[in-house]
Chain A
Amino acid sequence: MSGWLLLGAALAVAVVVVVALPFLREPAPASDALDELDPAARERLEAEEARDRALAALKELEADHRAERISDEDYRAVVGVLRRDAAEALRALDRLKGGTPREDAKSD
């Protein structure tokens, strides 16, 4: 058996150790279940994404209007819709968190 082949065997042993590491480190864990988000947490995550999307859209519209990329007419046509979306997203998130809807979310 050549030295190179021995090196290959050593590589194989080393990677087996790396692959087995989670089992070597925790031979008898209290729980081996995957830490997955429960349905409520996933719903909340999606609500947070919707909130971020709505707020970012509003922020971008304001910046575009300030920089005169968007005319006053187009700004007025869209800003109300975006504010309503943002308020709805905040309200939905508050509902999921189990709290009362915040004041700023109540006013469109």
Chain B
Amino acid sequence: MAELGRAALLVTLGLSGYALVAGGAAAWLGRRRLAESARNALFASFLSTLVAAAVLVAAFVRDDFSFAYVAGHSSRALPLQYKLSAFWGGQEGSLLLWLLVLTGYSALAVWFARKRARDLVVWVTPVLGGIAVGFTWLLVAVSSPFDTAAAPADGAGLNPSLQNPYMVAHPVFLYLGYVGLAVPFAFAMGALLSGRTDERWIVATRRWTLIAWTALGIGQLLGAHWAYVEVGWGGYYAWDPVENAALMPWLAATAFLHSVMIQEKRGMLRVWNVALVSLAFCLSLFGTFLTRSGVVSSIHSFTQSPIGPWFLGFIVVAVVFATVMIWLRLPQLRTTARLESLVSREASFLYNNLLLVALCLTILWGTAWPIVSEAVRGEAVVVGRPYYDFFLRIFGLPLLLLMGIGPLVAWRRASLRGLGRVFAWPAAIAVATGVVLILLGAGSSIPGLIAYTFSAFVLATIALEFARGTAARRALTGEPAVTAFGRLVGRNRRRYGGYVVHASIVLLAIGIAGSSAYDSVVEGRLSRGESLAVGGYTLTYRQLTERDGPNATEIRALLDVRRGDKSLGTISAGKNAYSVEQQVSNEVGIRSDLLTGEDLFVIAEQVDDNGTVFFRVFVKPLVNLIWFAGFVFVLGALITLWPDAREERRLATRYAPAVERADPQTTT
């Protein structure tokens, strides 16, 4: 069966190479049939990659340990869902997932844009083909999931920390995000190559960028929740290089989603937008490089990793290509529109962009510094949490405030007096919130207090926005409030979907501030019957149990939980001992109070033979708002992404001449 997998990857390599070379030649020479043929190659490359992926899935399901990759990442006792997720549990499978998502995105994006932006798609095809060639080459020649060896009796199993439901979904969403950024990049490069720097590349990629950005956001939240419940250190984000790898392209894509509005509304920032979309894509490559090359843990693993140098070369090619293309097209990208006032919607979006990019670049510097320092000085200097926390506050808090200000400032220019009137109520609510919080004793953390005050300001502006919009619509149409509200959102999806996303970011900020600035922690070794107290809770260690799970021995310490005189039931924490993998994992106990958003979080750090247990217990106020923010984020993204028939009709009218040329039979 491995032969079919290898053959399918070779076919993908041939097809993507053809899409690159024939597509480039077709665009250069203006040959229609050759361009269509290259486009078909891109479509077919998805099918051949799908065949390769199906072979690997079948090998995992059938416990075919003649596949070295399956033998290294699965075992007979592994539950089926983890056999499936073991697909992306290692380097080779992850690269195959990358390629599968890339070819899928490429086929769909090119298909949907084939009429409106035909002359653009001709140039997009070779760019997408080129990216696919890079990844397929790695899979065919450097790191193949289809290498075979004499089959052992059982596989080595899957890393226990990956045996978690979140790890089934987290990498898929992350890759949907990373790889999805290849689509706007390819269209931007296609626009530059073809010299068609009108808005069609933005229209063609708007939805794909949003999908990738949403998927990357969901992927990060799933990863954070996985770290919280599975890694067992009491947190959800540690500024780990691999975590930063996902955050950086998301920040760049967030900046792009905002700045692209300035191009759509004012025709400005054309150079900045192609630069941002290139930055986002290159950071997604850098993220995959960091995750997969092993360069982060030690510079020495870089030389040991077969894909590291290839990946680095790939990143260099992408950066140089994008830079050269932007440089060559500078005259066409220049616009006559200028920033008219520093107090305007476009100016506030620009500040937002500068802060997002500054945050992104400081994280990049912190992430890359250990690599750079080891390469230059022979000693890896790790950048710690204080560095990242400092810059998160410096750039993140003004960003939070701007989320409330930006959407309510007029385009072109606004007077300070007018702004004072618009923001009077939100500012009053924010100040009142700050005062109440100080009175309640929340002044112990100044950044936390500022974050809450700004959050109150933004939530107030969003609530007022919905209220004002609904009232204006009611006054205009006489519709009932619910109808007016529904139609207001339905007819302005990008705007109100955006507000919902902003609300989710505020909830996230409140959750992060609450759980990090106001948390409590206590630790101690307990014998049966002994108690410890933290954050108003009293925990009494009752008993230790042991049972055999599907593929691990599960040891759990049971504790009674009380708050004051009230019993809140029990909580258990312990360890799983995996026999095949020969590893032990922490299995934390979490008691969530959904009303207050607070978590009681118990780690059984050490279980002794005499039955005593060393516990570490956290109380994390408002931490559940972080996960709730995820649902609100998805809701906002869905509102924004939902197709708008009126917008489609408008675009159909605008691009009718291009469509008619592309397909004379079509009259849309």
Contact = CB atoms under 8 A, between A and B. Distances in A.
Contacts of A26: 33
Contacts of A8: 3-4, 6-8, 10-11
Interface stretch (B38-46, B283-291, B613-621): B38-46
Nearest to A46: B198
A21 B4 contact: no
A32 B33 contact: yes
Contacts of A7: 4, 7
Interface string A47-74: 0111011001100110110111111011
Contacts of B119: 34-37
A12 B472 CA distance: 61
A33 B11 contact: no
A62 B390 CA distance: 42
Contacts of B658: 37, 41, 45
Contacts of A45: 198, 200, 654-655, 657-658
The secondary structure that dominates the B interface is: helix
Contacts of A78: 410-413
B3 A67 contact: no
Contact of B3 (A4, A49, A53, A68): A4
Interface residues of A, number: 53
B32 A5 contact: no
Interface string B649-668: 01000110110011000000
Contacts of A15: 11, 15, 41, 44, 47-48
Contact of B36 (A22, A31, A33): A22
Which among B26, B40, B413 has the greatest number of chain A C-beta atoms within 10 A? B40
B89 to A, nearest CB: 24
B6 to A, nearest CB: 7
Interface in B409-425: 410-415, 417-419, 421-422
B410 A64 contact: yes
B476 A66 contact: yes
Nearest to A72: B418
B18 interface: yes
Given A8-B8, A64-B410, A67-B468, 18 more contacts: A4-B2, A4-B4, A4-B7, A7-B4, A8-B11, A11-B4, A12-B14, A23-B37, A31-B32, A34-B31, A34-B35, A35-B661, A37-B119, A52-B650, A52-B654, A53-B266, A61-B411, A68-B472
The list of the 10 closest CB pairs from A to B, nearest first, reads A8-B7, A71-B418, A22-B36, A67-B472, A4-B4, A74-B418, A22-B33, A15-B44, A67-B468, A4-B3
30 contacts: A4-B2, A5-B4, A8-B8, A11-B8, A12-B14, A15-B41, A18-B40, A18-B41, A18-B44, A19-B44, A22-B37, A31-B32, A33-B30, A34-B32, A35-B32, A35-B661, A45-B200, A50-B267, A52-B650, A53-B265, A53-B266, A57-B265, A66-B472, A66-B476, A69-B468, A71-B417, A71-B418, A74-B410, A74-B415, A74-B418
